[in-house]
């Protein structure tokens, strides 16, 4: 038989007589999979707690069956870092020691190093992943239990190996890496009125994630990881002492240096000098507070 009908039938069947058009059952199955995928994402939005939002227990129970699926695809974000209730940003600060002496401080992610948005996003994810695996500073932990999860410890070991490759050479290899997960808080209205800028040192809250060898092996007991809660002034003092020990001008310092420290040194270069007899932490605090204004 010839004619339009037979030509259309042949086009639909294709080679070997197999129909090219999907049947209604296949279409229905694909549609159900698409609906299930977006339903799983909506469950993640509804069950991710943050800020003032507490997830309903019934919704959390409903999300349990799809957790392996969304974790495998990496779509388990609750997107609660957007307005109107955004949370703090996560950073990684690291102190990298080399065999021939000297230490450099690096920050991930860094706008100084990565000006392209995509490259910056790639550096942002390790900081977010590691920050999510570190217990908050006000959380009470059982004796002998680390403040970093096993997943977080795996992240930290891998990141230490990466830093050792990036910042070491054959002639001067990296011997030791200290990692800190840093929470960068958002300014409150009163802080804005007082003159705080977005990189004010008082908005950073570091938490130690351990010390590692160049091979990523933890240097110390696993149970002690995360319990070293250094204050930001103490950490800033260590950074400034390392900068002063290098003897290099600020312009020649590593572009990976934490942005808040770089800005502090630009405004107060005298912090690396001998000083006026006061402790360095006190001088740092005075320099930071000198920006404050009375609203």
Cα distance between residue 3 and residue 8, in whole Å: 9
The answer, yes or no, to whether residue 18 has pLDDT greater than 70, is: no
- Least-confidence region, from 38-42, 88-92, 115-119, 199-203: 115-119
Cα distance between residue 80 and residue 72, in whole Å: 20
Which of 19 and 32 is assigned the larger pLDDT? 32
**pLDDT at residue 13, as a whole number:** 54
pLDDT, tens only, 184-229: 988 888 888 888 888 888 999 888 888 999 999 988 765 556 556 6
Mean pLDDT confidence for 125-131:
86
**pLDDT at residue 44, as a whole number:** 87
**pLDDT at residue 259, as a whole number:** 84
**pLDDT at residue 52, as a whole number:** 67
Cα distance between residue 45 and residue 39, in whole Å: 10
Which of 192 and 112 is assigned the larger pLDDT? 192
pLDDT, tens only, 248-264: 665 566 667 888 888 88
Cα distance between residue 144 and residue 66, in whole Å: 33
The answer, yes or no, to whether residue 33 has pLDDT greater than 90, is: yes
Name the band, by pLDDT with cuts 50, 70 and 90, for residue 116: confident
Name the band, by pLDDT with cuts 50, 70 and 90, for residue 124: confident
Which of 85 and 287 is assigned the larger pLDDT? 287
Cross-strand pairs, 105: 95
Q: Which is nearest to 227 in space by CA: 94, 137, 128?
A: 137
Please count the CA atoms within 13 angstroms of the CA of 19 that sit on its side-chain side: 6
Cross-strand pairs, 106: 94
pLDDT, tens only, 70-92: 888 878 777 776 766 677 888 99
76: tokens are 């388990």
Q: Which is nearest to 94 in space by CA: 223, 235, 205?
A: 235
- Least-confidence region, from 14-18, 24-28, 115-119, 120-124: 14-18
**pLDDT at residue 120, as a whole number:** 82
- Altogether, the residues listed in the chain come to a count of 295
The widest CA-to-CA distance across the chain, in whole angstroms, is 104
């Amino acid at each position: 038989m010839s004619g339009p009908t037979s030509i259309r039938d042949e086009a639909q069947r294709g080679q070997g007589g197999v129909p090219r058009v999907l049947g209604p059952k296949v279409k229905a199955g694909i549609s159900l999979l698409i609906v299930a995928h977006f339903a799983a994402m909506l469950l993640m939005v509804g069950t991710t707690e943050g800020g003032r939002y507490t997830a309903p227990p019934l919704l959390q129970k409903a999300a349990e069956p799809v957790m392996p699926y969304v974790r495998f695809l990496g779509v388990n974000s609750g997107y609660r870092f957007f307005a109107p209730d955004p949370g703090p940003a996560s950073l990684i600060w690291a102190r990298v020691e080399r065999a021939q002496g000297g230490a450099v401080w690096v920050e991930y992610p860094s706008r100084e190093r990565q000006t392209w948005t995509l490259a910056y996003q790639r550096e942002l994810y390790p900081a977010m992943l590691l920050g999510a695996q570190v217990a908050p500073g006000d959380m009470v932990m059982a004796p002998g239990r680390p403040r970093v999860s096993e997943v977080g410890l795996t992240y930290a070991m891998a990141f230490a190996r990466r830093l050792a490759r990036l910042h070491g050479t054959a002639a001067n290899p990296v011997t030791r890496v200290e990692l800190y997960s840093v929470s960068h808080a958002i300014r409150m209205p009163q802080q804005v009125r007082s003159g705080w800028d977005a990189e004010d040192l008082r908005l950073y809250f570091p938490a130690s994630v351990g010390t590692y060898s160049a091979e990523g092996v933890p240097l110390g007991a696993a149970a002690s990881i995360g319990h070293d809660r250094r204050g930001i002034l103490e950490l800033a003092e260590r950074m400034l002492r390392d900068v002063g020990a290098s003897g290099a001008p600020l312009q020649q310092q590593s572009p990976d240096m934490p942005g808040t420290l770089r800005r502090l040194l630009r405004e107060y270069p005298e912090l690396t000098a001998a000083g006026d007899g006061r402790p360095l932490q006190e001088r740092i605090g005075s320099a930071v507070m000198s920006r404050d204004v009375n609203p």
